């Protein structure tokens, strides 16, 4: 069992002062798979799908992207670029706060929200080349007082812009959920029935996680964020114009670098959506790499069910005459299973699959190299 990184390095690691990557932050096997450019001409094999969600035919494009990639670049979403630019500016200012101020908001072991290494880092013995801050957009004014105890202008501007962003993006999430369900082949009437029965859209919760990847003296040895699938329904990722997000693809195994498209969100399918769609839309392994010259910032807007709600495959997604491929789980139950999977090297999705599952859910288990090195 690796030592959780918050115990290994109780003191703040000053990325700015680092002239080399210390052993604590050096990951073996990072370059095991080639990296290819995902910004090629639309339709070519490695080109990350781009879906204009406001255009006719969007449902079919979402279906193809979710089935083959588990991710796509979303354009035509209607969130103003000026708002996205303000969001980025405020995030950059937050990460530029003095270390002592950021550490006031440090995430306590087992807590979901707070400042520090990404939550997933507790499963690994190596440290990642990043810092992050997780908060709930519905309680941000009180949460953010931990970072800005005296409130003040920066606090107010940060909260104002994040609230505005949340308002826009939460509505977008409802639109995208409907588009995903249409992409699964459900009629308007069926979608209304699902919502009436399960209230997925109505109860969906949002969590925001901000990432800061400082420039790195030896990017080939360090890793911004370890390969993972997001655990919830789906995630909107806003990446700054400094690229660094990579998606894992099989046949042949490779990392596809997601191009930085101004104004676009990357949409990732998460594990609980994989379960909800009976594996038809699959969650995507992804990681973030760092670079020598420029800091990188990203924002993840994670959508998922409330903690007490069981997620099970939609009957409409299960082929006629077959049983569901996954059993029902709540998000916290799934997180506990994923924790076990990390410590045993297994696949969490496989651990919740039933005999009816045909897909090898451990297909990407060996993506995470040398986990406990």
Ligand X SMILES: O=C(O)CCC(=O)C(=O)O
Interacting residues with ligand L37FFZMX between 144 and 163 (CB under 6 A):
none
Residue 282 interacting with ligand L37FFZMX (CB under 6 A)? no
Q: What residue ranges bind Fe ion (CB under 5 A)?
A: 230
Provide the 10 A C-beta neighbour count for residue 160: 13
Binding segment (CB under 6 A) for ligand L37FFZMX, from list 57-65, 224-232, 252-260, 311-319: 224-232
Binding segment (CB under 6 A) for ligand X, from list 24-32, 64-72, 138-146, 239-247: 239-247
CA dist 167 and 164 (Å) reads 5
Task: Using the minimum distance from each CB to ligand L37FFZMX, give the nearer residue, 180 or 302.
Answer: 302
CB of 284 to ligand L37FFZMX, least distance (A): 11
| CB distance 227 to 333 below 8 Å | no
Task: Using the minimum distance from each CB to ligand L37FFZMX, give the nearer residue, 224 or 243.
Answer: 224
In angstroms, the Cα distances linking 249 to 38, 149, 172, 357 are 11, 44, 27, 21
In sequence order, the β-bridge partners of residue 35 are 255
Residue 120 interacting with ligand L37FFZMX (CB under 6 A)? yes
Residue 117 interacting with ligand L37FFZMX (CB under 6 A)? no
With CB under 5 to 8 Å by kind, the binding choice for 117 among ligand L37FFZMX, ligand X, Fe ion, none is none
| CB distance 270 to 232 below 8 Å | yes
Task: Using the minimum distance from each CB to ligand L37FFZMX, give the nearer residue, 49 or 300.
Answer: 300
Task: Using the minimum distance from each CB to Fe ion, give the nearer residue, 211 or 353.
Answer: 211
Q: Which two tokens stand for residue 371?
A: 């986990």
Residue 118 interacting with ligand L37FFZMX (CB under 6 A)? yes
Task: Using the minimum distance from each CB to ligand X, give the nearer residue, 147 or 237.
Answer: 237
Q: Binding residues for ligand L37FFZMX, how many (CB under 6 A)? A: 13
Binding segment (CB under 6 A) for ligand X, from list 89-97, 177-185, 236-244, 363-371: 236-244
Binding segment (CB under 6 A) for ligand X, from list 86-94, 143-151, 237-245, 350-358: 237-245
- What own/partner pairs with CB < 8 Å and gap ≥ 24 does 218-222 have? 218/20, 218/21, 218/292, 219/289, 219/290, 219/291, 219/292, 220/30, 220/31, 221/21, 221/25, 221/26, 221/27, 221/30, 222/21, 222/25, 222/26, 222/27, 222/128, 222/129, 222/290
CB of 188 to ligand L37FFZMX, least distance (A): 30
Spatial neighbors of 108 by CB under 8 A, at least 6 apart, are 114
Helix (H, G, I), strand (E, B) or coil at 348: helix
With CB under 5 to 8 Å by kind, the binding choice for 207 among ligand X, Fe ion, ligand L37FFZMX, none is ligand L37FFZMX
CA dist 205 and 311 (Å) reads 14
Residue 137 interacting with ligand L37FFZMX (CB under 6 A)? no
Q: Binding residues for ligand X, how many (CB under 6 A)? A: 12
Q: How many residues does the chain have?
A: 373
Binding segment (CB under 6 A) for ligand L37FFZMX, from list 21-29, 56-64, 229-237, 276-284: 229-237
Among 343, 352, 342, CA closest to 272:
352
310-321 CB burial, b ≥16 within 10 A, e <16: ebebbebbbeee
Q: Which of 63, 87, 177, 245 binds ligand X (CB under 6 A)?
A: 245
CB of 114 to ligand L37FFZMX, least distance (A): 10
- What own/partner pairs with CB < 8 Å and gap ≥ 24 does 153-161 have? 154/93, 154/94, 157/90, 158/90, 158/93, 158/94, 161/83, 161/86, 161/87, 161/90
CA dist 128 and 186 (Å) reads 41
Residues at the site binding ligand X, with contacts judged by CB under 6 A = 209, 211, 225, 230, 237, 239, 244-245, 286, 288, 298, 300
Residues at the site binding ligand L37FFZMX, with contacts judged by CB under 6 A = 112, 118-120, 134, 207, 209, 228, 230-232, 300, 302
């Amino acid at each position: 069992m690796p030592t959780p990184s918050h115990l290994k390095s109780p003191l703040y690691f000053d990325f700015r002062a680092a002239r080399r990557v210390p052993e604590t932050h050096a990951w073996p096997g990072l370059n095991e798979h080639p990296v290819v450019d995902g910004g090629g001409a639309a339709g070519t094999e490695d080109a990350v799908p781009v879906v204009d969600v406001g255009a006719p035919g969007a449902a079919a494009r979402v279906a193809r992207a979710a089935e083959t990639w588990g991710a796509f670049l979303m354009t035509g979403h209607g969130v103003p670029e000026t708002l996205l630019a303000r969001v980025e500016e405020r995030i950059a200012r937050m990460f530029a706060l003095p270390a002592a101020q950021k550490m006031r908001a440090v995430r306590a072991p087992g807590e979901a929200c707070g400042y520090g290494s990404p939550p997933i880092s507790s499963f690994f013995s190596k440290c990642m080349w990043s810092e992050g801050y997780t908060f709930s957009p519905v309680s941000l004014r009180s949460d953010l007082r931990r970072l800005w105890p005296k409130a003040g202008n920066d606090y107010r501007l940060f909260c104002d812009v994040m609230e505005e962003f949340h308002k826009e993006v939460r509505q977008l999430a409802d639109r995208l959920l409907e588009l995903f369900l249409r992409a699964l082949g459900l009629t308007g009437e069926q979608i209304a029935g699902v919502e009436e029965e399960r209230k997925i859209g109505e109860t969906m919760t949002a969590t925001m996680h901000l990432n800061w990847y400082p420039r790195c003296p030896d990017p080939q040895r360090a890793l911004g964020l370890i390969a993972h699938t997001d655990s919830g329904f789906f995630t909107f990722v806003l990446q700054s114009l400094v690229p660094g997000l990579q998606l894992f693809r099989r046949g042949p195994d490779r990392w596809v670098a997601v191009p930085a498209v101004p104004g676009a969100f990357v949409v990732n399918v998460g594990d609980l959506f994989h379960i909800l769609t009976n594996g038809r839309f699959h969650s995507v392994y992804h990681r973030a790499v760092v670079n020598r010259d420029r800091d990188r910032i990203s924002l993840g807007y994670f959508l998922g069910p409330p903690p007490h709600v069981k997620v099970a495959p939609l009957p409409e997604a299960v082929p006629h005459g077959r049983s569901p491929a996954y059993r029902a789980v709540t998000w916290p139950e799934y997180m506990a299973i994923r924790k076990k999977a990390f410590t045993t090297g297994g696949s969490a999705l496989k651990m919740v699959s039933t005999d009816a599952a045909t897909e090898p859910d451990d297909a990407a288990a060996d993506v995470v190299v040398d986990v406990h090195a």
